[in-house]
């Protein structure tokens, strides 16, 4: 059974048709929309500030979402994929964003819609990632604009696949 715990009397809230893996951890002031999935060993810690997630967000295996006490909150839009072992900390991710495996997105970063943070990238504090581009490297910099094919072929494909994958587990639970 997943660890879903209150902090200071505030229990996480989940929308309709969400999947939470049995060893995921979600605590405190966390609100997620519909059709979200939180995968194995993922941690969403709303203990020191709030975390708000839109619809169709997938938080993949080993990812961590957290904030900074009394300073930064996390806002995640719709149709967002957070890759395996990524860290999303005190930042804003707009709609249709892909955060690659092992990427780190730090406090006060703002990632515009239809953007990709490449695997292994480190997006430093206060960076503003333009809409419709790819950021990569350490520290992360803009490497190119995103084509419509990448938006549908990567960002949307991964989000849709995670809806399908979560359906497999929901079927097994019936």
Q: What is the pLDDT of residue 150?
A: 80
The CA distance from 12 to 88, in Å, is 18
pLDDT in tens, the chain (174 residues): 789 999 999 999 999 999 999 999 999 999 999 999 999 999 999 999 999 999 999 999 999 999 999 999 999 999 999 999 999 999 999 999 999 999 999 999 999 999 999 999 999 999 999 999 999 999 999 999 998 888 888 899 999 999 999 999 877 765
Q: Domains of the chain: which residue ranges?
A: 3-173
CATH for 3-173 (3.30.390.50, 3.40.47.10, 2.160.10.10, 3.40.630.30): 2.160.10.10
End-to-end CA separation in angstroms for the chain = 15
User: What does the pLDDT read at residue 82?
Assistant: 98
**Cα–Cα distance between 104 and 22 in angstroms, integer?**
25
> What is the reported pTM?
0.96
């Amino acid at each position: 059974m997943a660890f879903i715990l209150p902090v200071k009397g505030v229990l996480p809230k989940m929308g309709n048709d969400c999947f939470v893996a049995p060893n995921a951890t979600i605590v405190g002031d966390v609100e997620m929309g519909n059709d979200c999935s939180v995968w194995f060993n993922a941690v969403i810690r709303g203990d020191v500030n709030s975390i708000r997630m839109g619809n169709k967000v997938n938080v993949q295996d080993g990812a961590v979402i957290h904030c900074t006490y009394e300073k930064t909150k996390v806002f995640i839009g719709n149709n967002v994929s957070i890759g395996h072992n990524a860290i999303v900390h005190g930042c804003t991710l707009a709609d249709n964003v892909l955060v690659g495996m092992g990427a780190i997105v730090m406090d006060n970063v703002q990632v515009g819609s239809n953007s990709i943070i490449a695997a292994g990238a480190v997006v430093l504090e206060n960076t503003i990632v333009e809409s419709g581009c790819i950021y990569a490297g350490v520290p992360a910099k803009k490497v190119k604009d995103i084509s419509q094919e990448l938006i549908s072929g990567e960002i949307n494909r991964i989000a849709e696949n995670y809806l399908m994958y979560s359906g497999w587990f929901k079927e097994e639970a019936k």
